Amino acid sequence: MEPAAARAAGDDFYRRLQLSLLLRTLLVLFLLGATVFISFTRTPSLLTRPLIALYILSGVTFTVITISIIMLRFMRQLTLFSFLQIIYEIIFVTALIWITTTEGIESIFTFLYLLAIITGGILQYRRGAFLAAATGSLCYGALLAAMKADLLPLLLPTAFHPENVRINELIYNYFINLAAMFGTAVLASYLTEKLRATGDELEETMRDRDALEALNDNIVRSMSSGVMTLNREGRITSINEVAAAIAGVSREQAEGKGFITLFPEASAALSVAGPDRGRFEANWKNAQGEMRYFEFRVSPLLGAGDVTLGSLLIVDDVTDLRRMETQLRQTDRLAAVGRLAAGIAHEIRNPLASISGSIQMLAHDLQLDAVNLRLMNIVIRETDRLNGLITDFLLYARPGPRALEEVFLDRLIVELVTVARNRPDMPPNVEWDTCLEHDLLVRIDPRMFEQILWNLVNNALQVQPQGGLVKIIARRLSGNGDHTRIRLEVCDSGPGIPPELLEKVFDPFFTTR
Q: Are 89 and 68 in contact (CB under 8 A)?
A: no
Structural domains of the chain, count: 4
Averaged pLDDT for residues 205-234:
85
More confident residue, 350 or 204: 204
Shared domain check, 154 and 116: yes
301 found inside a domain: yes
159: pLDDT strictly greater than 80:
no
pLDDT of residue 473: 92
CA distances from 303 to 186, 231, 310, 350 (A): 44, 12, 9, 76
Q: Residues 420-449: pLDDT tens digits?
A: 888 777 777 888 888 988 888 888 888 888
217 found inside a domain: no
309 found inside a domain: yes
Q: Residues 466-506: pLDDT tens digits?
A: 888 889 999 888 766 566 788 899 998 888 888 777 777 77
3-26: b or e for each residue (b if 16 or more CB lie within 10 Å)?
eeeeebeeeeeeebbeebbeebee
Shared domain check, 133 and 63: yes
CATH of residue 236's domain is 3.30.450.20
SS3 473: strand
Shared domain check, 246 and 147: no
Its domain, for residue 431, covers 405-504
pTM across the whole model: 0.46
258: pLDDT strictly greater than 50:
yes
286 in the Ramachandran plot: left (φ > 0), alpha (ψ -120 to 50) or beta? beta
Crossing angle of helices 112-148 and 3-42, in 10° steps, is: 60
158: pLDDT strictly greater than 70:
no
SS3 281: strand
